[in-house]
Amino acid sequence: MAFTPLKIALLTVSDTRSEETDNSGKYLAEQISVAGHKMAEKKVILPDNNYQIRALASRWIADDNVQAIIISGGTGLTGRDGTPEAIKPLLDKEIEGFGELFRMLSFNEIKTSTIQSRALGGIANATFLFSIPGSPAACRTAWEGILKDQLDSRNKPCNFVQLIPRLREI
């Protein structure tokens, strides 16, 4: 099977990161490129504001040229962490196993602290959305442990890419 490059939108959610200090966003943008995918839009940084997150994600979901969205940050338990709450209402279907698998992989690295992660995956308008913690280590865990393979059309026995045509039939 041939590789199918996806157009992926990337969002960093943080009240403190800038273009210069967003190491997680830089890592993910680089990995998206290395894997052969295309950036649907230049990497964006937004503050922890549910309405701004939801507005941008909604725009990307409505754009037929965006097949996947990766959001890093805002998944913790503090008062400002609201990315899952911003994203969940937009989902047509939640991919429950995404958060479960992320926490299982993360447990090997940070033990029980992984329970504080509210990683989330889902589908909206035939667009895959992934919300992952914002630390560089967590972004690496999510990319290397899940996303790199599931966003690769050559991954066997199955991958998210092969579902995209059937998602658009709805």
pLDDT tens figures, 72-115: 999 999 989 999 999 999 999 999 999 999 999 999 999 999 99
CATH code matching the domain that covers 7-167, chosen among 1.20.1260.10, 3.40.980.10, 3.90.780.10, 3.40.640.10: 3.40.980.10
Q: What is the pLDDT of residue 165?
A: 86
- If one counts every other C-beta atom within 10 angstroms of the C-beta of residue 66, the result is 22
Closest CA to 148 of 62, 46, 27, 53: 27
d(CA 51, CA 165): 30
Closest CA to 79 of 37, 56, 50: 50
Tens of pLDDT, residue by residue over 43-64, are: 899 999 999 999 999 999 999 9
Contact 20, 82 (CB under 8 A): no
pTM of the model: 0.96
